[in-house]
Amino acid sequence: MIPNEVDLAEEFGCARATVNRALRELARSGVIDRRRKAGTRVALNPVRRATLEIPVIRQEVEGRGGTYGYALLSREIVSSPADMSDLAAWPEDAHVLHVRALHLSDGRPYAHEDRWVNLEVAPEIEGADLGEVSANEWLVRNVSYSRGRIVLSAGAADARIAEVLGCESGAPVFQIERTTWLHETPITWVRLSYPASHRLSTSI
Amino acid sequence: MIPNEVDLAEEFGCARATVNRALRELARSGVIDRRRKAGTRVALNPVRRATLEIPVIRQEVEGRGGTYGYALLSREIVSSPADMSDLAAWPEDAHVLHVRALHLSDGRPYAHEDRWVNLEVAPEIEGADLGEVSANEWLVRNVSYSRGRIVLSAGAADARIAEVLGCESGAPVFQIERTTWLHETPITWVRLSYPASHRLSTSI
């Protein structure tokens, strides 16, 4: 148990607001547990928290020192398939834009993008030139979302992804799935597949 | 460009400290860019940030509703091999504890742990009963670190990991590698390998 804010402010000769801010940072990083009535304790098993940055893929590639490239592989409007409904609480019979694209770094495959966009929420994307600007960047610039979910996993490349990434069918791929919602309505669901050499790093 | 703190405080009838705190939160989540002299702008390509929680594996399993189990697979003291030196700036000729363990959820393989601990920094772990308490929990409780690095990736299960996880050799595994340091000295390097069914989720 650590002293209360007033005592800490006195001990360290600083403003109570400063102590409050410091404790908030420590609680955010998981080192202390703050309970409204029970007081503040040093965490027994500190749950450390790491921050993942989620830039647009162009920035991700450039941030790693590569030259960015992009190719639209396919684009079609479909009714939302059943498996999408499960993943993102997709409305039944919604009109959905399905886009597949390849992101490149220095001319080499960097990530395969498989994306579904709800045209009820983002109808203007129908008129966008997605051969020029990726759906990833178009959405970040044009559609705000209220919340999102990210799921990281390992998977096996299917034949189509293996061909595009230049790996064997069944080879491990690193997957980032992301769903974003505007309030309760899904905007987009995307699965990015990276070759097994991909590393996603962060600090704690 | 958004108004300065004083103007925002006046517009919303609140204290400047409140505006400052709100802007700090928005900057942290990547929605605005704050530059000391250039002022505060809405980010063109907002880099969203997600938080990953890193509990001890017992808590991770229990947080997913499973009953935790643990088995120590091997334990030996070695000189640090060359590949470790690369990964964690491991001191040459350091004495290192190498531990392999299996974490279980409801009796099924949950994650394989391959861990190296620098005995210069954490000599007391030599006396710990790592068959009873995992090195993961022992370290979290007994050794503080000043910084750490986390690397997420997909890999292929080697024969030993495949046998322990109950998957095919070469099958995709989700890998979490973590290095922690006390100032410039590495404390531990660990690679956790999860079956391909594993999902690591977070919200944005």
Cα distance between residue A90 and residue A96, in whole Å: 10
Average pLDDT across chain A, whole number:
88
- CB-based contacts of B117: which residues, under 8 Å, 6+ apart? B96, B97, B99, B125, B135, B139, B187, B188
Q: What is the pLDDT of residues A43-85, one digit of tens each?
A: 877 777 788 888 889 989 999 999 999 999 999 988 766 565 5
pLDDT computed for residue A141 by the predictor: 85
Nearest CB to B49; choose among A17, A51, A178? A51
pLDDT computed for residue B35 by the predictor: 81
Burial of A132 (0-12, 13-18, 19+ CB in 10 A): exposed
Q: Please check the confidence at residue B86 and state whether its pLDDT lies above 60.
A: no
Q: How far apart are the first and last CA of chain A?
A: 24
Range 163-192 of B in CB contact (< 8 A) with A = 170-175, 178, 180
> CA of B42, closest CA in chain A: separation in Å?
11
Cα Dmax for chain B? 66
pLDDT computed for residue B25 by the predictor: 85
Q: Among the listed ranges A9-18, A90-99, B95-104, which one has the minimum average pLDDT value?
A: A90-99
Q: Cα angle vertex A161, ends A108, B177, to 5°?
A: 75
Per-residue H/E/C for chain A? CCCCHHHHHHHHCCCHHHHHHHHHHHHHCCCEEEECCCEEEECCCCCEEEEEEECCHHHHHHHCCCCEEEEEEEEEEEECCHHHHHHHCCCCCCEEEEEEEEEEECCEEEEEEEEEEECCCCHHHHHCCCCCCCHHHHHHHHCCCCEEEEEEEEEECCHHHHHHHCCCCCCEEEEEEEEEEECCEEEEEEEEEEECCCCEEEEC
Verify whether the Cβ–Cβ distance A154 to B149 is below 8 Å: no
Range 121-140 of A in CB contact (< 8 A) with B = 137, 140
Cα distance between residue A137 and residue A129, in whole Å: 12
Q: Which among B157, B136, B149 is positioned nearest to B186, based on CA atoms?
A: B149
Question: ipTM strictly over 0.90?
Answer: no
Verify whether the Cβ–Cβ distance B156 to A171 is below 8 Å: yes
Q: Does A204 touch chain B (CB under 8 A)?
A: yes
- Mean pLDDT within A179-190: 89
Range 105-124 of A in CB contact (< 8 A) with B = none
Verify whether the Cβ–Cβ distance A204 to B149 is below 8 Å: yes
Q: What is the pLDDT of residues B14-61, one digit of tens each?
A: 999 899 989 988 887 778 888 877 788 888 777 777 888 888 899 899
- Mean pLDDT within A85-108: 82
Q: What is the pLDDT of residues A109-146, one digit of tens each?
A: 999 999 999 998 899 999 889 988 899 889 988 888 88
Q: Cα angle vertex A70, ends A67, A148, to 5°?
A: 100
Verify whether the Cβ–Cβ distance B149 to A59 is below 8 Å: no
Nearest CB to B154; choose among A55, A56, A154? A154
Q: What is the pLDDT of residues B150-181, one digit of tens each?
A: 999 999 999 999 999 999 999 999 999 999 99
Residue B112 confidence class, pLDDT cut points 50, 70, 90: very high
Annotated domain spans of chain A: 5-42, 57-195
Q: Please check the confidence at residue B85 and state whether its pLDDT lies above 60.
A: no
Verify whether the Cβ–Cβ distance A59 to B50 is below 8 Å: no
Q: Please check the confidence at residue B63 and state whether its pLDDT lies above 70.
A: yes
The string of DSSP codes covering B25-64 is HHHHTTSEEEETTTEEEE-SS--EEEEEEE--HHHHHHHT
Q: Please check the confidence at residue A30 and state whether its pLDDT lies above 90.
A: no
Residue found under tokens 């017992």: B58
pLDDT computed for residue B113 by the predictor: 95
**Cβ contacts of B200 on chain A, cutoff 8 Å:** 151-153
CATH superfamily label, A57-195 = Chorismate lyase-like (3.40.1410.10)
Helix (H) or strand (E) holding B24: helix B16-28
Burial of B199 (0-12, 13-18, 19+ CB in 10 A): middle
Looking at chain A, the whole-number percentage of residues with pLDDT higher than 70 is 93
Average pLDDT across chain B, whole number:
88
**Cβ contacts of B47 on chain A, cutoff 8 Å:** 53-55, 59
pLDDT computed for residue B70 by the predictor: 95
CB burial readout A55-84, b (16+ within 10 A) else e: bbbbbbbeeeebebbbebeeeeeeebeeeb
Is-contact B100 B133, C-beta < 8 A?
A: no
> CA of B75, closest CA in chain A: separation in Å?
24
